[in-house]
Chain A
């Protein structure tokens, strides 16, 4: 399979190349362009865009579930936050004795009266273990939950509600002070990462590149999966699960695998997000955050490969811009955008072109215009 066949159209290939160029160029501008020049990108700007890239990965992971398997998970934020907490634990340990209480333990543990680190915190001195945990902890949660839910054939809106309940329960647990994850204040005030000073510009560049690489890597991986026979079964499950089951496929296994993979991707995104945001606390897994991700995917275009990326970046860019320029009315603006998209652009921003083409050529297309793969097949 050559690379071109991974993508459905020249336009998609163009988008991927643009993304690659963007990911490569922005940190270079941060490095070489002198401060004050028009081309200079500050480390702050880099970390903001790095966060958007993590959001984009998160949106892609949800789209893989929702857009291609028909599983609307409202708890995707939980996996993201778990990944964030896992890497956050490493960052907390790296503060060392620079914390408020000048102890090698994180401040909130001193506060809770701990005199030594709990066992399960110890392996997190290793960043690689932490990154690994950022994948397997959400993966494990998704595996257990998915196995129970899918074996009981829970689907549709019931699955959505259960995932929302799961993330709500987890948030309440993490809010507890004695849960040894910092309670409401969470993890913050990081000092070092991979042996580097946390606020060194090279750290911002590294994290940005890491986030970009993750996004592109995940994109290619999922594109490959969707092209394969696996992807066809996946979409068949979305369109008619019973038929797939009667054809002899164990849809439960497929769904568990997809759910776990999507959770692991979200976890990695969370791990890269936390050092760029500078804080992780349980509000990150509050049910409203899970809904945010659904909005990004819906606005960008559910069931299209690039849509969620555009949706996540666009909405967050808009949020960042309007909270500064129109602090009184930004929620109204955002709400209006969402309503407009839902009412008039059922296939999101990426579906707009097809929608317009269809409208002007008056030709009716039989297939789902958002799903380019099926169309091109």
Chain B
């Protein structure tokens, strides 16, 4: 029986040993950067695209001489759609690998999970996906769309188009809840009466609105009742739907919507969580004519975007990183915001003359610019970006046709309570 206990000791020794030994030698001529996305689990379908575009960007930069003469050495880890694991992996990147910067996270909860880690180690994270705002960590730079770079321009567009009734529907988590609360205040400030804002309101004991809109749980699939409510709401012919439903639930939502006879000409749906990449798993024919709003569309007709798309496709055919899907790949806003993030970091490092995260953040706050595929982006003091906002109409092929372009929209994270 002695051998068994030695097996355990061996296991423990190997465990501790592996962990200690992973503080491997650091190459002098390269700079380590972390890539922290879910490559498995429920978020993998969205987040692997960001890993791919990040690796492409690093290769592109390395081919052009790197950053401050050093090659970028990416350390890719899998957050596995597991939020405590995100925090663990983030700390591993910082403590074991000493990465200079991390590009990562998609969901708000993953960002909330790693935030204390980046603050504790005073390091730097670039966050690329549209989010609810109400946050400005000194250690996070948000290349993401703030609510006023997506939801508010979309509503402005619909107001201009003459729509007078707005139905709010979303998945029950913090991004839809916050966005809709901001939109509720915004619509009221634009003179839309409360009864023309559909989806229901919840008030606290003093009568203040604490939640606006209709919310479904994650993975919800029965939209019959909600659609019949929308049908009634839209009977007047001047209604539209603001959709913050997340992920797969959009499939039954749009199927039910189309089946009920509602048309995009009468009652358009503007969605904030559906980009070109999501159409890989969504039936785009149900969404034709409905709207999307992002700070990048694949269909943007500019030389920078053409080059970006072509280079990415070329890279896909050449890369030998395991697990990369090579066929039918598209580009979308979160991908471009990841791409922009890397270049902004590079520009900030070059401006600061060092990889030190604190100094790089200072350089970012002082304002650096990059001419990205979606137009020029400039970093702001408030850790967000000034960028161009596009509103697009969904086409049969899962692309968007740009119908409105708003230049130089300043990202603003704190909006709740600002529209009176």
A binds B: yes
Residues of A within 8 A of B (CB): 9-11, 14-15, 18, 22, 26, 38, 40-42, 44-45, 48, 51, 100, 108, 111-115, 172, 175-178, 183-186, 188-190, 199, 277-279, 281, 283-284, 310, 313-314, 317, 319-321, 323-324, 327-331, 350, 353
- Contacting residues, chain B, for A26 (C-beta < 8 A): 16
Contacts A184-B218, A278-B117 aside, 6 further interface pairs with beta carbons under 8 A come to A40-B20, A111-B174, A175-B218, A186-B109, A277-B84, A284-B84
User: B39 on the interface (CB 8 Å rule)?
Assistant: yes
Q: Is the CB of B177 within 8 A of A177?
A: yes
Contact B120 A199 (CB under 8 A): yes
Please classify how large the interface on chain B is, using the bins under 10, 10 to 19, 20 to 34, 35 or more: 35 or more
Of B6-14, B150-158, B286-294, the one contacting chain A is B6-14
B173 and A184 form a contact (CB under 8 A): yes
Q: Which B residues have a C-beta under 8 Å from some C-beta of A?
A: 1-5, 7-9, 11-12, 15-16, 18-20, 22, 39-40, 76-80, 82-85, 87-89, 91-92, 95, 108-109, 112-113, 115-117, 120, 134-135, 172-174, 177-178, 202-204, 206, 208-211, 215, 217-218, 321-323
Contact in complex: B109, A323 (CB < 8 Å): no
Interface CB pairs A-B, < 8 A, 8: A11-B4, A38-B20, A44-B95, A177-B172, A177-B177, A183-B172, A184-B174, A328-B322
Complex CA–CA separation, A331 to B117 (angstroms): 25
Beta-carbon contact of A283 and B82 below 8 Å? yes
By a CB distance below 8 angstroms, the chain A residues around B79 are: 323
Whether B134 pairs with A100 at a CB distance below 8 angstroms is yes
- Nearest CB in chain A to that of B1: its residue: A11
The answer on a CB contact under 8 Å between A278 and B113 is: yes
A353 contacts B76, C-beta separation under 8 Å: no
Q: How far is the CA of A40 from the CA of B84 in the complex (A)?
A: 24
* B218 & A278 in contact (Cβ 8 Å cutoff): no
Q: Is the CB of A9 within 8 A of B1?
A: yes
Chain A CB within 10 Å, residue with most, of B9, B16, B77, B210:
B16
Given known A177-B211, A183-B172, contact A15–B5 (CB-CB < 8 A): yes
Give bound CA distance, A26 to B9, whole Å.
Answer: 14
Residue of A nearest to B120 (CB): A199
Is the Cβ of B173 less than 8 Å from the Cβ of A189?
Answer: no
B175 CB to nearest chain A CB (Å): 9
**Complex CA–CA separation, A328 to B48 (angstroms):** 10
Beta-carbon contact of A330 and B40 below 8 Å: yes
Q: Are A329 and B323 in contact (CB under 8 A)?
A: yes
Secondary structure of the B side of the interface? helix
- Complex CA–CA separation, A48 to B96 (angstroms): 13
Known: A185-B108, A328-B39. A279 touches B95 (CB 8 A): no
The CA-CA distance from A114 to B210 in the complex, in Å, is: 9
A289 — nearest CB in chain B belongs to which residue?
A: B82
* In the bound complex, CA of A278 to CA of B118 (Å): 12
Nearest B residue (CB) for A274? B84
Beyond A177-B172, A185-B174, is A327–B217 a contact (Cβ under 8 Å)?
no
Inter-chain contact A113/B113, CB cutoff 8 Å: no
Q: State whether A324 touches B8 (Cβ < 8 A).
A: no
Q: CB < 8 Å: which of A172, A317, A324 contacts B217?
A: A172
Given A175-B218, A176-B172, A177-B172: A310 in contact with B8 (beta carbons within 8 A):
yes
Inter-chain contact B5/A185, CB cutoff 8 Å: no
Q: Contacts A100-B135, A320-B88, A324-B89 known; A177 to B174 CB distance under 8 Å?
A: yes
Q: Are B20 and A279 in touch, CB under 8 angstroms?
A: no
- In the bound complex, residues from chain B placing their C-beta under 8 Å from that of A321 are 18
Is the Cβ of B39 less than 8 Å from the Cβ of A327? Answer: yes
B83, A283: Cβ atoms under 8 Å?
A: yes
Neighbouring A residues of B109 by C-beta, 8 Å: 184-186, 279, 281, 283
- Given A185-B173, A189-B115, A328-B39, verify A15-B78 contact (CB < 8 Å): no
CB neighbours of B321 from chain A (8 A): 328
Chain A residue nearest in CB terms to B44: A331
Collect the chain B residues with CB atoms within 8 Å of residue A45's CB: 19
Measured in the bound complex, the distance between the Cα atoms of B178 and A155 in whole Å is 44
Report B-chain residues with C-beta under 8 Å of the C-beta of A177.
172-174, 177, 211, 215
A44-B91, A277-B84 known; A18+B76 contact, CB < 8 A:
no
